[in-house]
Structure 1
Amino acid sequence: MLTPEATVAIVSNAVYTITIIVCVLIIPSLLGGLIVSIFQAATQINEQMLSFLPRLLITLGMLVFAGNWIQRTLAELFIEIFQQAGRMVG
């Protein structure tokens, strides 16, 4: 039976997992953007491609580097959710 406590546990676990995955992808990009912004402020170069391209490359690199971990983590989350759903139904 799906109780409010079980629902909260499922949703909180999903939100936590997604937050961790997003942080793995976004935080390196933010740090790269900060470094590029400091460089742009120091040299007074205001080129939009200079601020966009490094962040894009860092994000793509993190997808390549952490893609296997992300896939495994999401698979574990979905397997756990479906197992819990099976236990709740019968």
Structure 2
Amino acid sequence: MSIGMIINLMRNGIFHVFILAAPILLAALIVGLIIAIFQATTSIQEQTLTFVPKILTILGMLALLGGWMSGVLRDYTIRLFEIIPQLVQG
């Protein structure tokens, strides 16, 4: 197993983490920004006003993109298991 192969595995793993987490984090960021602007304009400083919509947005995004996310993760895992014999051979 060469250093180049290890770096490639690490790069692919980090890339997949970013690809899978980005839509959920982006949606939560947008909802948080909208609620922060609403709170600043109305002077309402209730903590649950930011927490509940973000949680609902995250759950909605997981329900919407869960199939795609599990497919990407499944394909990546299958590719990892397919290269195990190459890693053992050296």
TM-score by length of 2: 0.94
Displacement of 1:77 in angstroms is: 0.8
Please, which runs of 5 or more residues in structure 1 have no aligned partner?
none
Superposed structure 1 runs of 4+ greater than 3 Å apart: none
Does 1 or 2 have the higher relative contact order (CA < 8 Å, sep 6+)?
Answer: 2
Counterparts of 2:51 and 2:87 in 1: how far apart (Å)? Answer: 47
Secondary structure of residue in 2 paired with 1:55? helix
Aligned residues: 89
Displacement of 1:51 in angstroms is: 0.7
Q: 1:71 and 2:78 equivalent?
A: no
Please, which runs of 5 or more residues in structure 2 have no aligned partner?
none
Q: State the partner residue of 1:48.
A: 47
The amino acid across from 1:85 in the alignment is I
Q: State the partner residue of 1:18.
A: 17
> Over aligned residues, Cα RMSD in angstroms?
0.8
User: Once the two structures are superposed, what CA deviation does each residue of 1:15-70 show, in whole Å capped at 9, x if it has no partner?
Assistant: 00011111111110110000000000000000111010110000000000000011
Counterparts of 2:23 and 2:54 in 1: how far apart (Å)? Answer: 14
Provide the identity percentage: 31
